[in-house]
Amino acid sequence: MTRTNLQLARRRVVSVCLAAGALVPFVFLAPAARAGDTAAPSPSGGKATTYNVEIRNFAFEPKEITVPAGARIVWVNRDEEPHLVVSVGGAFKPSQALDTNDSFATVLAKPGTYQYYCGIHPMMVGRIVVR
């Protein structure tokens, strides 16, 4: 099976499981962040600054970021397994199943604290603080 076919097969399995309600998301709150756990912005070429969060080894890196209001957050899956980015309380639209090197982005306009987790692996949690 080619890599592309394998990725499509994984997405189908995840989609079917989610549609059937086989995966029940559990919410675990992230512990307080350590000093220095903020992401460096990367140039986006637009008005909003882009901040990157990588999904690696079944964890969000960094686990917590602090960004200005209007920042664009981009998650990139570096694992071989699919992941879903889901906001606690529905503060932003959930991602589709992200396969290896797939990405998902959202813009956070309002100040506040946004908790999120992986809808497939709920032990994976993260937090975004918008100032």
Could you tell me if residue 6 is inside a domain? no
Could you tell me if residue 5 is inside a domain? no
Structurally, how many domains does the chain consist of?
1
pLDDT of residue 48: 72
Domain hosting residue 66, numbered range: 25-130
The CATH number given to whatever domain includes residue 96 is 2.60.40.420
pTM: 0.68
Could you tell me if residue 70 is inside a domain? yes
pLDDT of residue 83: 98
Quote the CA–CA distance of 123 and 28 in Å, as a whole number.
7
User: What is the mean pLDDT of each successive set of 10 residues along the chain, which is 131 residues long?
Assistant: 51 46 38 35 61 98 97 97 96 96 97 97 98 95
Annotated binding site for Cu cation: 83, 118, 121
Annotated binding site: 83, 118, 121
Angle at 97 between CA 26 and CA 73, to 5 degrees: 85
Quote the CA–CA distance of 109 and 81 in Å, as a whole number.
30
Could you tell me if residue 98 is inside a domain? yes
Could you tell me if residue 12 is inside a domain? no
Could you tell me if residue 60 is inside a domain? yes
Could you tell me if residue 8 is inside a domain? no
Coil, strand, or helix at residue 104?
A: strand
Could you tell me if residue 4 is inside a domain? no
